[in-house]
Structure 1
Amino acid sequence: MRANQIGSWKNSNIGFQRDFIRYFESLATLALYSRQERRTLIRREANYQGADSEIGAPAELRAEIVVIGSGPGGAITACLLAEAGRDVLLIEEGEHLPLSSCTPFSTEEMLQKYRNGGQTVALGKNKIAYVEGCCVGGGSEINSGLYHRTPPEILEHWRKEFQVEALAEKDLLPHFESCERDVSVSMLPHAAPPASLKLHDGATKLGWKSLEVPRWYRYEDAVPKSAIGNSDKSRAGRQSSIGSRQSMTETFIPRFLNAGGRLLSSTRANRIRQNGDGWLIESAHKSSGVIRIVADSLFLCAGAVHTPALLRRSGITHNIGNSLQVHTTAKIVARFSDDVNSADMGVPVHQVKEFSPRLSFGCSISSPAYVALGLLDHPEAARETSRTWQRTAAYYTMITSEGRGNIRTLPSFRDPLVRYSLTETDRRNLSDGLRKLGQILFTSGATELYPSLTRGSVLRDDSCLSKIPDVLPDGLANLMTIHLFSSCPMGEDKSKCATDSFGRIHGFKNLFVNDASLLCTAPGVNPQGSIMAIARRNVLKFLNK
């Protein structure tokens, strides 16, 4: 009887019932596949470095410049300011942990380094799960490290539509090049994983543009970014080498500390207030309690959700948190007749850009746990994961959404309410993306496809792709994103922009935003390269360099 009730809720027409069952299925799946991860963690715990390089947490602190948030925007901001000789305090809500504290893309990493253990969602007719880093280094500590420059046509759109100054491709080129050197953006020095090559081969056979995306990884035999476009065959004979992710805790955070910067982790900024020409930050340390921090200048780099949330809690609301955009993704789990997956596969690196920026395709993390999660809509296939995962991989279609979201704070609630609305065009593009992704995968030899659609059918050949509806029905697609931006857009058009062209909030002195919130619209590519280059540009403007 209990199984029947669970089944009826899982297939209910009431969204809450479906979501409730899916939530606990996800937790059970992660628990099932986390036992091996825990054994790995025990071996790694001896490598914890902790926060030995940090300052203490007194009741009051003073700094010339305070930076809130230590992700890609905040880390580069704090580093360059400290290296210019400024007195800088960097505060971060999450803990200070080394990359070696847990296995990448594991359940333990979600608990250690994700906000709310990865259990965050944008509400709406079509709920979109999203993840944020909550640790020193932010999202750079948990993402795949794939790197793109902002497409020139996107920069031109921002420049014209939002009246952003000094944002032509030539203006950002030195900032891209500097950031790429600093985080060792490079190509794989060996052949890509088989699951990644399946995507590439299928697209190539269809005549669609597919490319290997560089990553900010350091390899002893790295191929420089200038080698983009070289075929995988030129590297196929090389042996696999283990690289190290060049996250913020490996690059800009150590530089910041070496330059005399002060770092305080496990500290949440609750509210900011004007203090003469400067700012007072009302904060709380995890162990020490309330801290008052006084600064002459303040940079907010807490991400596209928590930067606007902090501003709105502080009564600063004009064009703040009203224009959130995301890259919405839907997934297909593909099964092949040959092995495409392995325990050390790592991150797939190919993306199909034939229909970009409207649609992009890629291969996701495909550990057994992630494969099983991708099969929750297909329970019989999910039960076979332990036997079939080596022949299985997860893939995604990503759209550049025309929908918008907003961020609002609620009394007595720690986290903000995030809402997002997909348009009919968005839902049509997601359907088109799933069909085209299916076409790529069948062309590359997939035998079964399992789309992430509630009540979705198993697809066994090209003729089955017509079962995917022309427009995804509201509430039946299981969507997610890892790219959030545009909640405090920059530009001189004060009717739509929260900040000026260089991140200073309109109408305020010495108050800046310098993270993903500034991006005017969805860039259509992984945004970290854009965030870092624009942050560097803005800091140098602040320093009059």
Structure 2
Amino acid sequence: MTTSTSFSKTSLAAHLAAALFPAGEILPAPEPHQLAARVAGYVAHRRTHRWLLTAGLQWLEWRSLPHLHRRFSRADVAQQRAVIETLSNTLFSSLLLRLLSLPFRAAYVLEEERASHMGMPRIQVPAQTESFRWQQQVTHASELDGEHTIEADVVVIGTGAGGAAAAYELASRGLAVVIIEEGDWHDRRHFSGHLPDMLRRLYRAFGATITLGNAFIPVPIGRNVGGTTTINSGTCMRTPPAVLARWRERFGLAALTEDVLAPWFDNVETMLRVTQAQRRYVGPVGDLIERGARALGLTQVAPLQRNAEGCDGQGLCQFGCPTDAKQSTNVSYIPRALERGAFLFTGMRATRLLRDGKQAQGVLAQGRDANGRRVTLRVEARATVVAMGALLTPLFLRANGVRNPHLGRHLTLHPCGVVNAVFPDIDLHNGRTIPQGFAVGDFAEQGLMFEGCTLPFAAHGVLSALYGAEFVRFAERYAHTAYFGFMLRDTSEGRVRRGIHRDLPWISYRMNKKDFALFLRGIDTLARIYFAAGASEVLVPGPRQLVSLRSVTELDAFMARSHRPSDFLITAYHPLGTARLAADASDGVCDVDHRVHGWQGLYVMDGSNPPTSLGANPQITLMTLASRAAAQLAETLTETGA
């Protein structure tokens, strides 16, 4: 009997499915056993996920005893919904319930018939894509066997914003470059928009990386060729001049002036084809936000700059672009690096730094062949560039002998808040517009940047904290629900340590009072923008509830209450700073040229480099810094010779 079949016949899973999703006005109730079978399919090939799901169901079965005096599966559906409502209002149980319900929500909203009820267009995935000569220089672990040793001038670990830009710059200057990537290569044929499949293919740990502190903050990161650039929204912003000035003054990075970086910014923006988002694909939300913002006297309202020339607004940026309009590094930098002679090995995890004392000499990487046996790749190189991202780079460096008091510390996140609003008479074209295409920048210098537009229908349902009839009603209002958010230039700092699993580092982060005050200002301002635009209802989501406000008076009363960070839905997408740049080793991990202090041949070029929070979406900054540093490295290696 297959896992899917046995699971679908488990009464407990079917009971939960029935309790979670009653029939609505538009959406019919799902058949419980069929939905349970779909959930089973999501975890069929993942032993750990099957175990966690089974454990979660058993927790719910027995957690119901104090409330119902019977197990969950022995109660009627009304009682089951009542206990779910009770558990959703407690701190720890609400978190467990939300995690348990997540695959059930996904199965519910991803059903094609349900999406068609909501008027969602089907994603057009190409049957085939073009073939290029450079693809011959991509080797997956499954194509190898045993142990292999190769030599290179530089080995780059990671293909995200920093690693890809560095690899391109190094290869363009005639150096022999080998790129190691733990994830797989995917092209637009794979970008179907099917949430479980995209999470499995493109995200590390299914997007489950999360901070622990005075709020649980999800920090999803990519694991694929392209890294997090494949799953970001494509927003392109240069490093604010005030931030560069602080780096020069506080960290001694005198070389990082606007004049020095200007040509590098230009090169990056040319490579990414940066242009302003088209208003027709921003959608009605942009018009509403502009109307409300201007009514409040705000003036810096405009479509965002993006790396997606030719975007047709399918709204899938976070799950891979099916048209290749978005110039994530799997489309831009990596192919061009390969065209210039670089070699890419995918499905290979860097496990050990090759070194002689503090002289880096390359890297050892491991993967699995077609039969599941371990394969080893030894890359001997004159220089090693670590570009694994702000959450993993410090762990790799520490595990391989780097000792610095700042390593793994000073983590900033750009914490993000979201406020929804209901416009019952307006079709907002959700699911047919750019996920993040419009901005209000009046408070950017104060550390508060408003950005947003829409989410796919699947994400709309999966991210909700509601259950039962309220969840179904919320899902049915998708076409009339506006999404917009904001991010903070945070002064709070966190720390990254090794976790219980390599995919789940221990990330600690506490939002300080200054940042939380700014966060509350973001909630208040965005709610007022919505009301000024004519919203009938403003919704403030939290991990345990969705607060509904119907007037400015109710908003004032809500803002006058005492709040904590854990009361709000906070997410983050820009981890930075854990191997920060500084002129002196007493102040940071890497010097201005990105070389690890005290080491030879060891460099870091990724999101761990920025010494402070940016207050701007970071991919342009990371590519610019990495391009400049790689050019410096290429010059050094060329001068020293073979």
* TM-score normalised by length of structure 1: 0.90
SS at match of 1:384: helix
- Residue 31 of structure 1, CA deviation: 2.0
Matched with 1:279 is 361
For residues 207-222 of structure 1, what are the structure 2 equivalents within 5 Å? 207-208=297-298, 209-219=300-310
Are the equivalent residues in 2 in contact too, given 1:49–1:97 (CA < 8 A)?
no
SS at match of 2:242: helix
Q: Does 1:339 align with 2:417?
A: no
For residues 340-379 of structure 1, what are the structure 2 equivalents within 5 Å? 340-356=428-444, 357-377=446-466
| 170-179 vs 60-69, which moves further | 60-69
Letter of the aligned partner of 1:320 in structure 2? Answer: L
Distance 1:293 1:219 in 2: 39
Matched with 1:228 is none
For residues 129-208 of structure 1, what are the structure 2 equivalents within 5 Å? 129-191=218-280, 192-208=282-298
Matched with 1:225 is none
Matched with 1:224 is none
Are the equivalent residues in 2 in contact too, given 1:333–1:371 (CA < 8 A)?
no
- Residue 324 of structure 1, CA deviation: 0.7
- Residue 35 of structure 1, CA deviation: 2.6
1:82-136 per-position Cα deviation (integer Å, ceiling 9, x unaligned): 1111111001110011133113584432221011111110111211101111100
Letter of the aligned partner of 2:403 in structure 1? Answer: T
Q: Larger Rg: 1 or 2?
A: 2
1:129-178 per-position Cα deviation (integer Å, ceiling 9, x unaligned): 01111100111111111110111011001111111131111111100111
Distance 1:27 1:66 in 2: 38
SS at match of 1:245: coil
For residues 96-495 of structure 1, what are the structure 2 equivalents within 5 Å? 96-104=185-193, 106-191=195-280, 192-208=282-298, 209-219=300-310, 244-275=325-356, 277-287=359-369, 288-318=374-404, 319-337=406-424, 338-356=426-444, 357-377=446-466, 380-410=469-499, 413=502, 415-453=504-542, 454-466=544-556, 467-468=558-559, 472-495=563-586
Matched with 2:96 is 20
Distance 2:368 2:491 in 1: 39
Q: Note closer, same or farther for the CA distance 1:368–1:468 as it changes in structure 2 (3 Å cut).
A: farther
Letter of the aligned partner of 2:380 in structure 1? Answer: V
Are the equivalent residues in 1 in contact too, given 2:171–2:177 (CA < 8 A)?
yes
Ranges in structure 2 where 5+ consecutive residues have no aligned partner: 1-67, 73-79, 313-322, 637-642
Matched with 2:49 is none
Matched with 2:138 is 54
- Residue 59 of structure 1, CA deviation: 3.0
User: CA RMSD for the aligned pairs?
Assistant: 2.6
Matched with 1:238 is none
Distance 2:475 2:547 in 1: 22
1:328-349 per-position Cα deviation (integer Å, ceiling 9, x unaligned): 0121221112111243223341
Name the structure where helix makes up a greater proportion of residues. 2
Are the equivalent residues in 1 in contact too, given 2:431–2:454 (CA < 8 A)?
no
SS at match of 1:195: helix
SS at match of 2:381: strand
SS at match of 1:332: strand
Q: Does 1:11 align with 2:62?
A: no
Distance 1:512 1:282 in 2: 16
Letter of the aligned partner of 2:433 in structure 1? Answer: M
- Residue 412 of structure 1, CA deviation: 6.7
Q: Note closer, same or farther for the CA distance 1:532–1:361 as it changes in structure 2 (3 Å cut).
A: same
Matched with 1:542 is 633
Distance 2:494 2:166 in 1: 27
- Residue 474 of structure 1, CA deviation: 4.6
| 284-293 vs 407-416, which moves further | 407-416
SS at match of 1:11: coil
SS at match of 2:189: helix
Q: Note closer, same or farther for the CA distance 1:84–1:482 as it changes in structure 2 (3 Å cut).
A: same
Are the equivalent residues in 2 in contact too, given 1:313–1:409 (CA < 8 A)?
no
Q: Note closer, same or farther for the CA distance 1:394–1:431 as it changes in structure 2 (3 Å cut).
A: same
Are the equivalent residues in 2 in contact too, given 1:374–1:452 (CA < 8 A)?
no
Distance 1:170 1:517 in 2: 23
Ranges in structure 1 where 5+ consecutive residues have no aligned partner: 222-241
Letter of the aligned partner of 1:306 in structure 2? Answer: L
Letter of the aligned partner of 1:389 in structure 2? Answer: Y
Distance 2:364 2:294 in 1: 55
| 37-46 vs 377-386, which moves further | 37-46
Q: Note closer, same or farther for the CA distance 1:52–1:106 as it changes in structure 2 (3 Å cut).
A: farther
- Residue 33 of structure 1, CA deviation: 1.6
Distance 2:294 2:196 in 1: 35
Distance 2:432 2:256 in 1: 40
* TM-score normalised by length of structure 2: 0.77
